[in-house]
Structure 1
Amino acid sequence: MSMNKTFGSILIIAGTTIGAGMLALPLASASLGFTTATLLMAAIWSLMIYTALLMLEVHQHAAPHATLHTLAYQLLGRKGQMIASFAMIFLFYALCSAYIAGGGAQLNDKLTHWMGLNVNPQTGTIIFTVFIAAVVSVGTHSVDIINRVLFTLKVIALFVMLWLLIPHIQSQHLIDMPVHKGLIISALPVVFTSFGFHGSIPSVVRYVGVDIKSLRKIMLIGSAVPLLVYILWQAASQGVLNQSDLIASTTLGAFISTLSSMLNNPLVSKSVSIFADLALATSFLGVSLGLFDFISDTLKRTNCLKGRLQTALVTFVPPLCFALFYPQGFITALGYAAIALVILALFLPVAMVVAQRKTHQKTAQCYQVRGGTAALYTVTGAGLLIIAAQLLQMAGFIPAVG
């Protein structure tokens, strides 16, 4: 296994994860306190890395180019394939819509205020989408190269942002307790979505091959990097602002403005804004790559220029239309994505592993994730809890966050 591909795949997983969800974390966990939010993130990360390893267990008995669409049909039949396809399409289109809406608005703001151009609100959205679509349409290798550059810039922006914020952390803010215990349940969907990278797993397997040892390393390191970044980000944001200020910041723009005004430093606003741009771009790259490969497999498009252009149109036009006609739908799209992500990242891996273990006996050469039936039941229960939390918020029975 090429170390170059391994490193690039780690960055794809990390870059996909560290996206719009991270930007919503301080707002979603504002009422929880730093300690509670950190424990919740660690629990969600453990859940997600476990199911990622379940996906690798499934992939070891399939062709390297197999997508979730193919795997679901082989192990769960036509009904399972339909459920997987619906969840995948719903999740990817919801996330792409959110990223296009958020990234387009950010780019439009740069064109207007930083470059002094007089452009209409749709210009940034279209430019942002066309750029990402061009990179993804060329292939996974181009995504790898561009993602490395953007990820490096994102890390630099992150360190600058943390360097500006950490000296202003007040320990008293970090020991605040949850305002209301019920908000822990409310925060579950947002925190859960922040660790979503499973849609990119088939693309990574196709890129590096079915090398379980390397793939385990990619999944573990690629998902652990976001966990560390999230903890540092939570410490910086929740340590600088008290709970009342965070709760009052209901949008990303308001959050950035509050940080900048409180510290009286315009560099804070610029560093957070640049980081937000790069986080949206890298996450959009990973998610749209997964959607592109899934649609190509589902529609049986060829790998020639005509086939890839057709796949690109089906991949990017629907979420672009959503962002153009509903530009304020960033948070709405992310909220609904949590339900589809539960199906994709929790329920389907469990169901496919159960089906596969019935036909493949464990051998010394066969990789099998530890935990047994009890762990599979725990994952299923966690998924039901996350869906219930989202539905209860939508119905107004528990307070909404973020």
Structure 2
Amino acid sequence: MTIKHTFMLSFLVAGNMIGAGILAMPINAGISGFWPSMLMMAFFSISMFFSGIVLAKEVNKKKDDTFNFPSLYQEHFGVAGKWIASIANLIIFYGLLISYLVGSSKIVLMVFKIDAVFEPLVLLVIFAVFTYIAMSSMSIIKKYNTILMLLLWMAFLVLIYIGSSGIDANRFSHVNWEYLPRAVPMIIAAFVFHPIIPTICRDAKWSGDIYKPIAIGLLIGFVMNTIWLVVAVGVVPEFGHISLNEARLTGMPITLEMSKILKSDLFLIMGTLFAIIAVATSYVSIGMSLKDFSKDILENSLNIYNKWLVFVVAFIPPLIVAYFFADIFLKALSIVGGIGIVLLFGILPTVIYFRKIRSKFAILIASIFLIAFSITFLITLLQTFGMLHLNPFGG
């Protein structure tokens, strides 16, 4: 791969990460505490890179344009593995697209002071624009994505510059280890790039250097998430009328709470631009991956070849859920991160790796990752079914 091609693909990886996750992650992470969250961010960024490389190697071995994760897991775990992967994939893809649509609609409604009666119309417009780009050719998507990423970084730098003036260092001393398990799914959701792996492997012509754009994209995402966490936690208090907990309760992106505290029109404008572009880049990446996934299921499992049916299966269900349930922004991300992503892009790739290694050190490292992913999966499952309640106030 050329340097230009490597960086264009790394922007796709970073764009896949910098979306609703970066808007939601500081909310739960901040309540649990800055330093505990940073520890989890460092650990899970490494573990997600590990699982991503495992999957990229598997995809590269097949060199098949329609090969996707259901087909991959069928090879390793049989028919049951294929359908477990399919269900987990749908949880991830649908959950993320739902959260993107809901989150961006909330931002537009609040920033432009649009009456709630027009919310369905706003949702439909956002859906139409984002989905049109996601359904475009790879060359057009790479072009759009590079431009959007440059605009994203511009807005991000302005936000950091304005936000840094409102940082209160005392807020970094807050620690709530009991609430950290609730923050972990959000942290994992902020570091997922795996759905784009089959697409970038195909675009890279099955190059063995695919780890380069993955590593660069992940590094970009980690740096941006870290800086954003510093500013968000430093500016917004944990509890109160305008706080991280208030954002958690209302399901609003963190940029809106920050704009209330900083009282800066420029921050509000740039925060809106940043949030919309962040969601757009992720929606396009995830939408493109969901399109490939739907095509894999329809063609390779059901022998159905219809591009319009691919569109309907991929994009209409998230639109319907977002239309009727407009208050599930954070809930959708939590389920996506703690159940779908952890199972499909954490536990299963680690099991594949276990089957192929003999080194004791490699077995130890993989065991640590597998235990961490499994604990996260179990805790999120218990929370989802109401069997475990984590109180941000402690006790």
TM-score normalised by the chain length of structure 2: 0.89
Instruction: Tell whether 2:236 aligns with 1:241.
Output: yes
Q: Shift of residue 307 of structure 1?
A: 3.5
CA 1:246/1:97 → structure 2, altered by over 3 Å: closer, same or farther?
closer
The equivalent residue for 2:77 is 76
Task: Tell me, yes or no, if the aligned pair for 1:51 and 1:349 is still in contact at 8 Å.
Answer: yes
Structure 2 SS opposite 1:300: helix
- Cα pair 1:22 1:230 within 8 Å, conserved: yes
SS in 1 for 2:30: coil
Q: Match of 2:55? A: 55
CA contact under 8 A between 2:232 and 2:254: conserved in structure 1? no
Q: CA deviation at 1:58?
A: 1.7
The residue type paired with residue 399 of structure 1 is L
Offset at residue 155 of structure 1 (A): 0.8
Judged with a 3 Å threshold, the aligned counterparts in structure 2 of structure 1 residues 177 and 278 are, in CA distance, closer, same or farther, namely: same
* C-alpha distance in 2 between matches for 1:234 and 1:19: 14
Alpha-carbon distance in structure 2 between the residues aligned to 1:223 and 1:370: 27
Residue matched to 2:68: 67
Name which of structure 1's ranges 389-398 and 373-382 shifts more when overlaid on structure 2.
Answer: 389-398
Verify: 1:191 aligned to 2:187, yes or no.
yes
**Separation in structure 1 between the aligned mates of residue 78 and residue 185 of structure 2, nearest angstrom:** 29
**Deviation for aligned residue 1:99:** 1.1
The structural deviation recorded for 1:316 is: 0.7
1:207 aligns with 2:203: yes
Which 10-residue stretch deviates more, 19-28 or 306-315? 306-315
Q: Structure 1: how far apart are the matches of 2:128 and 2:262? A: 37
User: How far, CA to CA, are the matches of 2:253 and 2:77 in structure 1?
Assistant: 46
Pick the aligned partner of 2:365 from 360, 367, 375.
Answer: 375
Which stretches in structure 1 are left out of the alignment for 5+ residues? Answer: 363-368
Identity of aligned residues (%): 23
> Conserved in 2, the CA contact under 8 Å of 1:48 and 1:196?
yes
Determine the C-alpha separation between the residues in 2 that align with 1:278 and 1:400. Answer: 32
In the aligned structure 2, how far is the partner of 1:261 from the partner of 1:101? 21
C-alpha displacement of 1:33: 2.8
Which residue identity is paired with 2:222?
L
Partner of 1:216: 211
Q: Does 1:130 align with 2:131?
A: no
8 Å Cα contact 1:188-1:389 kept in structure 2: no
Aligned-partner SS, 1:138: coil
What is residue 3 of structure 1 aligned with on the other side? Answer: 3
Q: SS of 1:289's equivalent?
A: helix
How far is the alpha carbon of 1:321 from its aligned partner? 0.8
- 5 Å matches for 1:290-369? 290-300=289-299, 307-338=306-337, 339-355=339-355, 357=356
Structural mapping, 1:79-158, within 5 Å: 79-109=80-110, 113=113, 120-158=118-156
Alpha-carbon contact 1:21-1:193 (below 8 Å) kept: yes
Moved more, 151-160 or 268-277: 268-277
Corresponding residue of 1:277 = 276
Once residues 252 and 217 of structure 1 are traced to their aligned partners in structure 2, the CA distance between those partners, rounded to angstroms, is 36
Q: Which runs of 5 or more structure 2 residues have no equivalent in the other structure? A: none
Distance 1:386 1:99 in 2: 23
The question of whether the paired residues in 1 share the 8 Å contact of 2:166 and 2:234 is answered with yes
Contact preservation (8 Å) 1:9, 1:204 = yes
Verify the 8 A CA contact 1:136 1:142 in the aligned structure 2: no
The AA in structure 1 aligned to 2:368 is: T
Q: SS in structure 2 opposite 1:31?
A: helix
AA partner of residue 4 (structure 1): K
C-alpha distance in structure 1 between counterparts of 2:323 and 2:32, whole Å = 34
Provide closer, same or farther for how the CA distance between residues 61 and 127 of structure 1 changes in structure 2, counting only shifts above 3 A. Answer: same
Deviation per residue, 1:123-176 (Å, 9 max, x gap): 1211211222222222222221111111111111111100101133233223x1
CA distance in 1, matches of 2:353, 2:255: 43
Q: Which residue of 2 aligns with 1:365?
A: none
Deviation at 1:80, TM superposition (A): 1.3
Please give the alpha-carbon distance, in whole angstroms, between the structure 1 residues aligned to 2:238 and 2:98: 30
Q: Does 1:389 align with 2:388?
A: no
User: How many Å apart are 1:330 and its aligned residue?
Assistant: 1.7
Q: Is the Cα contact below 8 Å between 2:28 and 2:183 reproduced in 1?
A: yes
Between 1:25-34 and 1:285-294, the stretch displaced more is 25-34
In the TM superposition, what whole-angstrom CA distance separates every residue of 1:75-107 from its partner, at most 9, and x where no partner exists?
A: 222121111111112211111111122223334
Write the letter of the residue equivalent to 1:286: S
**How many pairs are equivalent?**
382
| Structure 1 residue 396 displacement after superposition | 5.5
Q: How far apart, in 1, do the equivalents of 2:292 and 2:171 lie?
A: 44
Contact 1:44 1:192 in 2 (8 A): yes
